[in-house]
Amino acid sequence: MIKRLAAEFLGTFWLVLGGCGSAVLAAKFGGDGNPLGIGLLGVSLAFGLTVLTGAYAFGHVSGAHFNPAVSIGLWAGGRFPLKDLLPYIVAQVVGAVFAGWILFQIASGSGTFAIDPTAPGTFASNGYGALSPGGYTVAAAFLCEVVLTAFFLIVILGATHARAPAGFAPIAIGLALTLIHLISIPVTNTSVNPARSTGVALFAGSGAIGQLWLFWLAPILGGLLGGVIYGWLGKDN
C-alpha cells in the first residue's frame, strides 16, 4: 500500500504540475497573440499528456487514478475496494497541493507574475459566475462538471475492461481528458478532479477557495454516475 500511495502522490503531482503549469507558465507566454504561447489547445493537450505518461509510469503500481472522482467512480463500478478510497484520496490531494506549491515557487521567479483573486482562472483555478472564464452560471458549471466527469469514468472503465485492447488504455484516457478540456475550459477552466482544483485553489485566493465546493461535489457525483452506468453497461460483457 505504501508504494501504491506513493504512486498516486507522484502521479497527481505530475498531473497538476504539467497541466496547471502549462496554463500558468505557457498558455499566454509573451502576451496575447504571441505564437510561442500554447493557448487553450496546448493546455488541453498538456493535461492529456500528463495522464497518458503518468498512467504508463504508475499504472502498474497503483492503477493510476490521480483523481478522487476516478477512485470513487471505480469503486462505484465495482473495480476498487471501499477500504482503499480514503488513503488514495489523501495521497492525491497531498500530491496536488505539493504540485501547486512547487508551481507557485516557479511562477514567482518572474517579475511579472501576480495572482488576482477576482480574475477568472487565476493561477489555473476553477470557477463559476464571475470566476468562470466565459462567465457561465453555477448551474451550467455544475452540469458541465458532472456530465464530463461521468463520461471520463465511462472511458476509463471501458478502456481498462478485460476485453479492451491491452496496453492502449492510457492513450484513450489521455485523449479523453484532452477532449474534456477542449470542451470545458471556457466554462469552469476544467476540473473533473477535486484534487487538481484544491492544489491550485489554495494559492489562488479566497475567490477560488470559496467556490471549491462545486469542484468536489460535481466531479464526485459525476464519477459515481459514470461508475454506476458502466457497472451496468459492462456487466457480463
The mean pLDDT of the chain is 94
Q: What is the DSSP letter of 98?
A: H
| Single-letter residue type at 206 | S
- Which grid cell is 20? 496547471
pTM of the model: 0.94
Helix ranges (H only) for 64-108 are 68-76, 85-107
Domains of the chain (ranges, CATH numbers):
2-233 (1.20.1080.10)
pLDDT of 34 over the 90 cut: no
Q: What is the pLDDT of residue 236?
A: 64
Q: What is the pLDDT of residue 24?
A: 96
pLDDT of 35 over the 90 cut: no
Among candidate residues 201, 198, 233, the one with its CA nearest the CA of residue 219:
198
Q: What is the pLDDT of residue 237?
A: 62
Q: What is the pLDDT of residue 229?
A: 94
pLDDT of 196 over the 70 cut: yes
pLDDT of 8 over the 70 cut: yes
Read off the pLDDT of residues 106-156 as tens digits, 9 standing for 90 and up: 999 998 899 999 999 999 999 999 999 999 999 999 999 999 999 999 999
Residue 38 — very low, low, confident or very high, per pLDDT cuts 50/70/90?
Answer: confident
* E strand or H helix at 175: helix 169-188
pLDDT of 30 over the 80 cut: no
CA distances from 32 to 18, 25, 38, 107, 127 (A): 21, 13, 10, 18, 22
pLDDT of 170 over the 90 cut: yes
Read off the pLDDT of residues 62-116 as tens digits, 9 standing for 90 and up: 999 999 999 999 999 999 999 999 999 999 999 999 999 999 999 999 988 999 9
